[in-house]
């Protein structure tokens, strides 16, 4: 009898262990008293990395939708402000390289910009596209110019994919490089332009390990004609190295790019720029520069900032959109309209110097609810895409 009880006891223990193992390993199949299954699809206990990856996967597309619904404008609305600040949170992730959603976000936005370059038919003015870091593409009816295009990230995992660079080169007539820093000059990008038969212009001493670069500004101010655009080269300083400020005249629409200008010795000279050039839009850094003196000296009709969220920078040195906005708010006394743009966005500099074609929208009431219609898409008033 004792042996029988011992055997039953052992069988009971084995059965209990098996039941517990089933519950632990397969919680989704466990049934509650009401008969509903326990869903563990979104439980990340013990795996914070998986949680952060999934969170980024959910958030980046929503941020993208919000930005599309609320494009760049001199008067920022609360929805765009929220989108920029939320984006800052994700771009200040110390391990952003592990979030595939980040690469999908930047790829989709830059591909969309390139498609727009292909589709946009220009008759006047300049379409200004923001690429990564200090990179811009300027398109007019006669020419398309790229400035300071880099890939960022690392050589084995760049922020901007090679395929995007090749597509971009196909749409551009020339590349301008302002200085030799990695955030402005990239050997691979410059080589792709040169090998594609496109002109590359840079200060003397930039990327000297490749052939085919046209060095400009080494003897002082210089003017170059670039197929429908007149380029004025103004050499200044980036620390101890030369940095070119490029003033580009697209048949009367004038855009300037300051590159990485940081030298205070330049400020007295920059203070006189407005006497010679009437600049409609100034593309300039907001961090590590005397922004007030630059804006006061050049006196542009509008300023667009650059250099925000350069991902190779440490988190504490990575300029956020919200800090840029605070810097600009502190300079309201200058009464210079300004815009903060995200990768892949565009702004149209028209004949009236303020026409943002990408922001045109109409309001429509559907079933008693107010919606925003833009570029064939429907958005809620808070910026969520509904079709």
User: H-type helices in the chain, by residue range?
Assistant: 2-25, 48-69, 78-91, 100-119, 162-171, 187-195, 267-270, 273-276, 291-298, 321-329
In a domain, 23, yes or no: no
**Cα separation, 64 vs 203, whole angstroms:** 36
In a domain, 290, yes or no: yes
In a domain, 385, yes or no: no
Instruction: Tell me the whole-structure pTM to 2 decimals.
Output: 0.82
**Cα separation, 281 vs 263, whole angstroms:** 21
DSSP state at residue 96: G
160, 244 Cβ separation under 8 angstroms: no
Please state whether 35 falls in left (phi above 0), alpha (psi between -120 and 50) or beta.
left
212: its two tokens: 């085919």
Percent of the chain with pLDDT over 70: 81
In a domain, 298, yes or no: yes
Per-residue pLDDT of the chain (387 residues; tens, 9 = 90+): 444 444 434 544 444 334 333 333 343 333 444 455 666 778 999 999 999 999 999 999 999 999 999 999 998 999 999 999 999 999 999 999 899 999 999 999 999 999 999 887 888 899 999 999 999 999 999 999 999 999 999 888 999 999 999 999 999 999 999 999 999 999 999 999 999 999 999 999 999 999 999 999 988 899 999 988 999 999 987 777 889 999 999 999 999 999 998 877 778 888 889 999 999 999 999 887 789 999 999 999 999 999 999 999 999 999 999 999 999 999 999 999 999 999 999 999 986 553 333 345 566 777 656 666 655 667 665 445 565
Q: pLDDT tens digit string along 86-131? A: 999 999 999 998 999 999 999 999 999 999 998 878 888 999 999 9
In a domain, 37, yes or no: no
**Cα separation, 305 vs 119, whole angstroms:** 26
**Cα separation, 233 vs 244, whole angstroms:** 6
| 3-class SS of residue 64 | helix
377, 70 Cβ separation under 8 angstroms: no
In a domain, 384, yes or no: no
**Cα separation, 164 vs 87, whole angstroms:** 22
- CATH number of the CATH domain containing 339: 3.60.15.10
In the chain, the number of structural domains is 1
In a domain, 193, yes or no: yes
In a domain, 109, yes or no: yes
Q: pLDDT tens digit string along 136-185? A: 999 999 999 999 999 999 888 999 999 999 999 999 999 999 999 999 99
**Cα separation, 102 vs 149, whole angstroms:** 19
* Closest by Cα among 283, 278, 284, 285 to 301: 278
Domain with 260, as residue range(s), is 48-359
């Amino acid at each position: 009898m004792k042996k029988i009880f011992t055997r039953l006891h052992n069988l009971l223990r084995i059965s209990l262990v098996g039941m517990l193992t089933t519950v632990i390993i397969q919680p989704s199949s466990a049934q509650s008293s009401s008969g509903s299954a326990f869903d563990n699809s979104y439980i990340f206990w013990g795996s914070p990395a998986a949680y952060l990856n999934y969170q980024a996967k959910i958030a980046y597309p929503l941020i993208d939708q919000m930005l599309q619904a609320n494009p760049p404008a001199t008067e920022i609305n609360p929805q765009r402000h929220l989108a920029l600040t939320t984006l800052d949170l994700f771009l200040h992730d110390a391990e952003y390289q592990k979030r595939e959603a980040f690469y999908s976000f930047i790829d989709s936005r830059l591909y969309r910009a390139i498609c727009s370059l292909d589709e946009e038919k220009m008759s006047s003015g300049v379409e200004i596209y923001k690429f990564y870091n200090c990179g811009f593409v300027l398109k007019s009816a006669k020419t398309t110019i790229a400035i300071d295009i880099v890939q960022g990230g690392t050589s084995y995992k760049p922020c901007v994919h090679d395929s995007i660079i090749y597509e971009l080169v196909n749409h551009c007539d020339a590349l301008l490089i302002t200085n030799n820093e990695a955030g402005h000059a990239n050997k691979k990008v410059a080589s792709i332009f040169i090998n594609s038969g496109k002109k590359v212009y840079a200060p003397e001493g930039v990327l000297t390990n490749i052939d085919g670069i046209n060095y400009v500004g080494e003897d002082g101010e210089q003017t170059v004609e670039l197929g429908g655009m007149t380029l004025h080269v103004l050499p200044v300083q980036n620390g101890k190295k030369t940095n070119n400020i490029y003033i580009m005249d697209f048949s009367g629409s004038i855009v300037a790019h300051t590159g990485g200008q940081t030298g205070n010795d330049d400020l007295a000279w920059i203070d006189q720029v407005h006497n010679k050039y009437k600049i409609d839009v100034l593309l300039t850094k907001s961090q590590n520069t005397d922004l007030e003196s630059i804006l006061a000296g050049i006196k542009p009709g509008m300023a667009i900032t650059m250099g925000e969220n350069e991902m190779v920078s440490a988190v504490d040195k990575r300029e956020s959109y919200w800090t840029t906005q605070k810097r600009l708010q502190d300079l309201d006394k200058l009464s210079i309209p300004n815009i903060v743009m995200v990768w892949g966005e565009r702004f149209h500099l028209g004949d009236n110097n303020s026409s943002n074609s990408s922001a045109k929208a109409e309001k429509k009431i559907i079933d008693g609810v107010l919606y925003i219609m833009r570029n064939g898409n429907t958005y809620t008033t808070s910026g969520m895409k509904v079709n």
